[in-house]
Amino acid sequence: MKDLKISQLIVKHYFQKLNDVLNVDVAIAGCGPSALALATELAKNGRKVAIFEAKNEPGGGIWGGGMMFNELVLESELEWYLKEHHIKYKKEDEFIVVDAVHFASAMLYNATKNGAYIFNNVFVEDLVMYNERISGVVINWMPTIKEKLHVDPITVVAKFTVDGTGHPANLVRLLSKRGIINSVKGSSENLCSCGVVEYEFPMDAENGEKFVVENTKEIYPGLYVMGMAAVSVGGGPRMGPIFGGMIMSGLRAAELIEEEIKRIETSENKKLVKA
């Protein structure tokens, strides 16, 4: 009964995988280029990372290139990244041109190869908060959300949560609508008291590429923004099919989160030594 065995294997291994990510180091909403860059770097460091993508096809805006011409552009400074991940490319003056399908496939492969988990058709509908700190995500099947079924979600606990939902900045909006993000007090550099802008600024690739990296940060304890979500939160210029800033934003988020994880680990080790 091969059909029965196939079904048993799918159910068995999917639920093993899901059970393994109910408590992770990093939970990411949205599986675009920034999320994939972030997940790959942290997974390489041995961190448990789970990405939850609402659509059936992970990869965000990579696949379509510009106006469905499936080519995309990066700056020449990212040539090292393409070489490191064995991604084919062509150089054109100060730019690099990459086949969008190849690029998306390579990024997805490298993220999962290094141990990151990707769950497609799963929507992050809310956040978990303990002691005024974001501590994970609330997930449900995307078809459940589309059909507006009265089905309760489940929780994924995470040390750090990242909004990689692109233009909508869905996770930040959840805090903004509740008045939580605007109630942040103090002048800490890694916090802001702004919500999400209604519209990003007009197209400006040069300044937009800088803006997205500079505004990749923790905006509320435990919650980071990156990629176009960082642009929407900061009110920066929208961008076209140029993806260098997206990759650099993911790498910047990985750097910030890794530093914070190490800081926490060091603090915990010191407590153990004292005990």
pLDDT per residue as tens digits for the range 99-152 = 999 999 999 999 999 999 999 999 999 999 999 999 999 999 999 999 999 999
Say what angle helices 205-214 and 227-234 make with each other, to 10 degrees. Answer: 90
According to the model, what pLDDT value does residue 179 have? 85
d(CA 49, CA 23): 10
Structure tokens at 53: 């993508």
According to the model, what pLDDT value does residue 193 have? 45
According to the model, what pLDDT value does residue 182 have? 64
d(CA 231, CA 213): 9
Average pLDDT (233-249) is: 88
Domain spanning 2-61+100-274: CATH superfamily: FAD/NAD(P)-binding domain (3.50.50.60)
According to the model, what pLDDT value does residue 189 have? 42
Kindly list the domain boundaries of the chain, sorted by start residue.
2-61+100-274
Q: Which amino acid appears at position 103 of this protein?
A: F
* Of the candidate ranges 108-112, 222-226, 267-271, the one whose mean pLDDT is the lowest: 267-271
Among left, alpha and beta (phi > 0; psi -120 to 50; other), residue 227 is left
3-state helix, strand, coil in the chain (%, to 5): 45, 25, 30
pLDDT at 10 over 50: yes
